[in-house]
Amino acid sequence: MSEPYPSFPELLAAHQHRLLSYIVSLLGDAESAWDVLQETNRVLLEKRDEFREGSSFLNWGLTVAQFQTMAWLRDRQRSRLIVTSELIELMAEDAIAIEAEADSQQQALRHCMESLSHGHRELIHLRYAKSQRLVDLAEQTGRSVNALKQLFFRLRSSLANCIEQRLEVS
């Protein structure tokens, strides 16, 4: 049975960081990017009925963010730095390509993580997601710190090879 599709507010919340990063990459100004993000969120909420469940919310959101960024720049043409819409479009294409590559890498990582044993996935989670120290993990698992260092080296190498192979195939 498949998981239920996330609600619109869940999708919007889940993609805030990526939308902000994208806008910052276009503007080069984090402070102004927050203003553009708020405007982007307003437009996304106004047009939420246009979003088709099952389609890529991120791609839709990035497109809206691109237009909001261009509108913000247009409204501020008095600025010393004038950025043309053509430049924004080129930068947007680059940013979308980078996002797509990051998505591919994340999907490959998820797949490769699933190929690890439950115990190894749990260790990786504790070490990297929970930021547990090696000393604490060694105590919990009954292994030496050096043994854990070697294990993490092998796991990272294995994941890197797996990801590389997955990306070559796709």
Domain count, the chain: 2
Q: What share of the chain is helix, strand, coil (3-state, %, to 5)?
A: 80, 0, 20
Write down the pLDDT at residue 87. 67
Rounded Cα–Cα distance for residues 55 and 118 (Å): 32
- Cα atoms found within 13 Å of the Cα of residue 23, Cβ hemisphere only: 30
Identify the helix (H) or strand (E) that includes residue 142.
Answer: none
| Closest by Cα among 94, 114, 18 to 62 | 18
pLDDT of the chain, 170 residues: tens digit per residue: 445 667 888 888 888 999 999 898 888 888 889 999 999 999 999 998 888 877 788 889 999 999 999 888 888 765 555 556 666 777 777 777 777 777 788 888 889 999 999 999 999 888 888 888 999 999 999 999 999 999 999 999 998 899 889 888 86
Rounded Cα–Cα distance for residues 167 and 107 (Å): 9
Domain boundary among 76, 101, 126: 101
Write down the pLDDT at residue 166. 87
Write down the pLDDT at residue 82. 53
Write down the pLDDT at residue 144. 94
Rounded Cα–Cα distance for residues 19 and 68 (Å): 11
pTM above 0.95, yes or no: no
For the domain that residue 159 is a member of, what is the CATH number? 1.10.10
What range does the domain containing 56 cover? 1-101
Write down the pLDDT at residue 31. 86
Domain boundary among 78, 101, 124: 101
Domain co-membership, 43 together with 119: no
Domain co-membership, 84 together with 120: no
